[in-house]
Amino acid sequence: MSDHEDVEYTDSFIGALEMVWGDGFLSPGGKEEIALFLEGVDISGKEVLDVGCGVGGCDVVLARDYGAAHVHGIDVEGPVLERCVARAEREGLSDRLSYRKVDPGPFPLPDESFDVVFSKDAMIHIEDKHSLFAEVFRVLRPGGLFVASDWMRRDEGPPGPEAQRWLDVVGLTFGMHSPPFYLDALEKAGFVDCSTADRNEFVTRALRADHALMTGEGREELIRRTGEEAQHYIDVWHAGMRAAEVGELRPGHLRAFKP
């Protein structure tokens, strides 16, 4: 696997993300965050779609720890999916985890084909939330559940200075919106009992701890994983930490039901 020009989640970026967030995870909190957003719901025996599955750590947790019958992960980047397939084999879960590379836009998936749509910190990359949630609604069976977390922002005004700095430094394709905007898009798609839960405090703590690790005892490991880009990742984490500290970033959980 090598870094490609058209790939945003390069080997070195994945190296930095997994260093702070654990093997298989490109977002903070890992198993503990998944436990929180699945609190009170039972996904055992269910068919799950994971939108923006990254390198597949979440899918292993959903199948192995929560008994999902099958998890189908979709992502726009090929190299991350190669890692997912290898992980599924290593975990002995190849019969319950499947993956597909997709283009941005409508899902190439049949109507009403999943019981649960799951997504962890990936929908930030998709600008048109109304079309996105219409697609999520379409592929869910009646009675289906949407659960996710995402990097949201404080409001729909221009990003505050710290959020703007983070967006500039991180340099990824983002289409950020506020929690009320997400709720509106979910309701317009037809979902009911839509809710968000703010995780700003948790993410602020996580980014502070990550930044301390990257600039302290983990510095050598970061350089080993990312080479000359180490300082870039330190800057990314510092900017994210500041944007979270001042409340311009509002990461949170989302939940909604298809009637």
Which is nearer to ligand SAM, 120 or 129 (by Cβ)?
Answer: 120
Give the residue with the Cβ less far from ligand SAM, 102 or 213.
102
For residue 31, how many C-alpha atoms fall within 13 Å in the half-sphere facing its CB? 8
Nearer to ligand SAM among residue 53 and residue 222 (C-beta): 53
The CA-to-CA distance between both ends of the chain, in Å, stands at 43
Q: How far is the CB of 245 from ligand SAM (least distance, A)?
A: 20
User: By C-beta, is 57 or 179 nearer to ligand SAM?
Assistant: 57
Q: How far is the CB of 221 from ligand SAM (least distance, A)?
A: 19
Burial (CB count <10 Å: 0-12, 13-18, 19+), residue 213: middle
Report yes or no: 214 and 234 within 8 Å, Cβ to Cβ.
yes
Yes or no: say if 43 and 76 are a contact pair by the CB < 8 Å rule. no
Question: Considering beta carbons, is residue 121 or 248 the nearer one to ligand SAM?
Answer: 121
Backbone angles phi, psi at 66, to 5 degrees: -115, 0
Residues that bind ligand SAM in the complex, under the rule CB under 6 A? 9, 25-27, 51-54, 57-58, 74-77, 80, 102, 104, 120-122, 125-126
Closest approach, Cβ 73 to ligand SAM, in A, equals 8
Question: Considering beta carbons, is residue 175 or 259 the nearer one to ligand SAM?
Answer: 175
In the complex with ligand SAM, the residue whose CB is nearer, 76 or 186, is: 76
User: 248 and 162 in contact (C-beta within 8 Å)?
Assistant: yes
Give yes or no for a contact between 43 and 67, defined as CB atoms under 8 angstroms apart. Answer: yes
Query: With contact defined as beta carbons under 8 Å apart, do 133 and 213 qualify?
Result: no
Nearest distance in Å: CB 105, ligand SAM: 7
Pick from 68, 115, 117: which is nearest to 95 by CA? Answer: 68
- In the complex, the smallest distance separating the C-beta of residue 259 from ligand SAM, rounded to whole angstroms, is 25
Residues written for the chain: 259
User: What is the distance between the alpha carbons of residues 56 and 80, in angstroms, rounded to a whole number?
Assistant: 8
Helix (H, G, I), strand (E, B) or coil at 37: helix
**Residue 119: CB minimum distance to ligand SAM, A:** 7
Q: How far is the CB of 52 from ligand SAM (least distance, A)?
A: 3
